[in-house]
Amino acid sequence: MTIIRRAGFLWAVLLLLGLWQSASSAATSEVAPGFTRAQAKAGGKAYQQYCVECHGPELEGVAIVPPLAGSRFDQSWRGKSADILSFHLRRMPPLPVAEPGSLGDETYANILAFILKSNDFKPGRKKLPADLAALGTLTIPKLEGVEYDPVVPVEMSAAQAAMLKNLPNVTDQMLRNPSPNDWLHWGRTYNGQSYSPLKQINRDNVKELRPAWRAPLIQGTSMSMPVVHQGVMFLQAYPDTVLAMDATNGAVLWRYKRELPRSSKKMGLSLHEDRIYVSTSDLHVIALNARTGELVWDHTMELGSEGVPRGDYQTRGAPLIAGNVVIQSTLSFRVPKGSYIIGIDRKSGKEAWRFNTVAWPGQPGGNTWNGIPVEERNGGSVWQQGTYDPESNLVYYGIAPTYDTAPLLVPSQEEGVTNEAMYTNCTVALNADTGELVWYFQHTQNDQWDMDWAFERTIAELPTKDGGTVKAVMNVGKNAMLDALDAATGQFLFSLDAGVQNVITAVDPITGAKTIDPTKMPNPENSSVICPVPFGARAWPQTSYSPDTNYVYVPITESCFGITETDKGGRLLTTGVSFTGAPQPDLDDGMMGRVQAIDVANRRLAWNTDQVTPPSTGMLATAGGLVFSGDIDPSLKAFDDATGKLLWQAALDDLPTSSLISYKVGEKQYVAVVLGMTNNFIRDITRHYRRWSNTKGKSGDRGGASIWVFALP
């Protein structure tokens, strides 16, 4: 059964209603909801008939079901629009009625009126509307002079304390071959496939998938992927906070918070032995005790040229544990000499090696910067965690372009000097122990459009034409083209184009070199339409690879923009050319989003499923024959991994903004997603959708930051 937004929900979501954070997005209106005495009376009767068994005769909550009155109501719902509370009431399956949402709009409005009256709201002559849209114009007011703590307190049971105390160390062998029940890496495994071998949730029963629990988070900038080890979930949250949670119900087991004046976006953390490794917004890498959250060591990364503020650098990707080294990537904006990948000894916390992501003179590729001095070279940010092949001891990273493109636009005539700008838009393979560059491959040279190939590098064994196999490292750029390389040598294997870009016209089948349409090069004298826009047909939300289908699953947004003469729009990098909005092609059907399957075994495109709204999360493939994806509808969806058929969807109360994971505790498999966090990609695709979609849709985004976890009943 497909779950529709105006339908009901399971009582499990109500388990943690009291944990909603009051600091999340409030409605813009300040009109308080009114209701009549007759509505509250009818609502009281309906509550006694359908709700009392779970929430108690005085709305006090029963067992683990939270109260709907008193301080818990105040913390959960005040400051939010009334439709958010009504949205969740409709998701509770009324007893003894089997189906959620089956009571009708009028009855739900009456129950809401009863709950308001039970929290000292006074009835009046104005009737409470039954329509969710009308309820969305009303705000449940905060109590004057009362502060609401958005941070869930740490309240461990004896069983949870024992679970932490007895949590096994994460060994090297576990990292190389994790339990199917755990999600130990960003991407679950060293190969970054974002694939779960669990199959309790499958094509046949996914229609029964329901929320198991929900826990609030402080809203801010993030796109974190949780990790799970033997029933404990670890999440790097905003602001510079690490949470340990009971993965079966969301209870907070411990919290580490670093008090900083500002917090930057983060994508995750790493586990090894009894430690958790995270990067911080003040450019440190720290190790925490996984059982207690206590600080073990704190390494200050030495970054920057003389006179460059530390604030010009950031860390975003999760640390990568490779043997005895914790590897942390950095990003920077127009900082001399570019960015770095740094190896830190995991025992001592001292720097072991560093690799500069912009080629300097005398290094391989050092003559590819059009002759400009090293102090004027910049860029090469590393946005996401690398992947690791323990057999070859190589780590693989993707490197972003430079934003200072004007010095590279016109090739110099100096002999032996080119303008490809290594190692931007490259895959680099580094020796994990030393940071030595083993090989590199550039996916697009002299990128003048901010069309990164900077995302995850996925390692997989692929069949070859002669019946053998090759270990490949694959990645998909912003232009939704996939390149596959030999993981050992960097030799080009093949490229596949999803068909939403118009800059590259051909790919050399031997070398992988791209041919650029000359009319798409920035030129103030010519106008041109370029697809996709600089935020990409895909961006940081990661792809997923299934070894069952040999498909790579890609989240895609269809988009284009125009480049034209100066002073007509926003500036495109430093070329002096402006960019403007452009009519969006192929949107007559109202479908701006797409989930694309790429058959990398047979070197061809497989299925694609169009959808109205763009995907906003990473992809998750599972052995149950499913591919999960979140989008700005907002909803979470499950597709058949072989055909792309939509099998299930669940409405969400805020934008899903993270990578998806699946794990198992005891006999139950879970699927988790973080909602309501902000980041550049979410901002860009929602703005793009609201401007260009002919559906004129407005994606929902008012429920606040939280983590939602689904399971079968």
pLDDT tens digits for 384-402? 999 999 999 999 999 999 9
Domain hosting residue 437, numbered range: 261-648
Q: Is 553 domain-assigned?
A: yes
Q: How confident is the model at residue 587 (pLDDT cuts 50, 70, 90)?
A: low
How far, CA to CA in Å, does 209 sit from each of 199, 205, 298? 13, 7, 42
pLDDT over 70 at 100, yes or no:
no
Mean pLDDT in residue range 255-264: 88
Q: How much is the pTM?
A: 0.84
Look at residue 572 and tell me if it is in a domain.
Answer: yes
Is there a domain that residue 337 lies in? yes
Query: Number of structural domains, the chain?
Result: 2
Task: Dihedral sign for Cα 642, 648, 654, 658, please.
Answer: negative
Same domain as 266, residue 120: no
Q: Is 602 domain-assigned? A: yes
pLDDT at 383 over 80: yes
Q: Taking each helix axis as running N to C, give the angle between helix 37-50 and helix 105-118, from 0 to 180 degrees, rounded to the nearest 10.
A: 100
593, 618, 648 - which closes a domain? 648
Average pLDDT of the chain to the nearest whole number: 88
Kindly state whether residues 131 and 268 are assigned to the same domain: no
CB 255 within 8 Å of CB 242: yes
- CA 673, chain centre distance (Å): 8
Mean pLDDT highest for which of 1-10, 587-596, 697-706?
Answer: 587-596
Instruction: Specify the pLDDT at position 3.
Output: 33
The proportion of the chain whose per-residue pLDDT surpasses 90, expressed as a percent, equals 64
Average pLDDT in the 596-611 region?
A: 97
Instruction: For residues 621 and 629, give the distance between their C-alpha atoms in angstroms, rounded to a whole number.
Output: 9
pLDDT at 673 over 50: yes
Q: What is the CA radius of gyration of the chain?
A: 26
What is the pLDDT, as a whole number, of residue 477?
97
Quickly state the pLDDT bin for 97 (edges 50, 70, 90): low
Q: What pLDDT is recorded for position 17?
A: 33
Domain CATH for 130: 1.10.760.10
Domain membership of residue 241 (yes or no) is: no
Lowest mean pLDDT among 271-285, 361-375, 602-616, 679-693: 679-693
Would you state the pLDDT for residue 578? 79
pLDDT greater than 80 at residue 287 = yes
Based on the domain organization, do 123 and 267 belong to the same domain? Answer: no
CATH code for the domain of 518: 2.140.10.10
Whether 711 has a pLDDT exceeding 90, the answer reads yes
In a domain, 666, yes or no: no
Q: Which of 648, 667, 700 is the last residue of a domain?
A: 648
Query: Which stretch of 318-322, 586-590, 671-675 has the lowest confidence by average pLDDT?
Result: 586-590
pLDDT confidence of 2, banded at 50, 70, 90? very low
* pLDDT tens readout for residues 643-652: 999 999 998 8
Considering the domain boundaries, does residue 246 fall inside one? no
The pLDDT score that the predictor gives to residue 7 is: 29
C-alpha of 547 from chain center: 22
Span 154-205, pLDDT tens digits = 778 898 999 999 999 999 999 999 999 999 999 999 999 999 999 999 999 9
Residue 134 C-beta-side C-alpha neighbours within 13 Å = 9
Order across the sheet with 706-711: list the strands: 210-216, 706-711, 668-675, 661-665
CA distance 92 to 79: 22
The β-bridge partners of 473 are 459, 485
Q: What is the pLDDT of residue 418?
A: 95
Domain presence at residue 444:
yes
701, pLDDT greater than 80: no
- The residue from 135, 164, 192 where one domain ends is 135
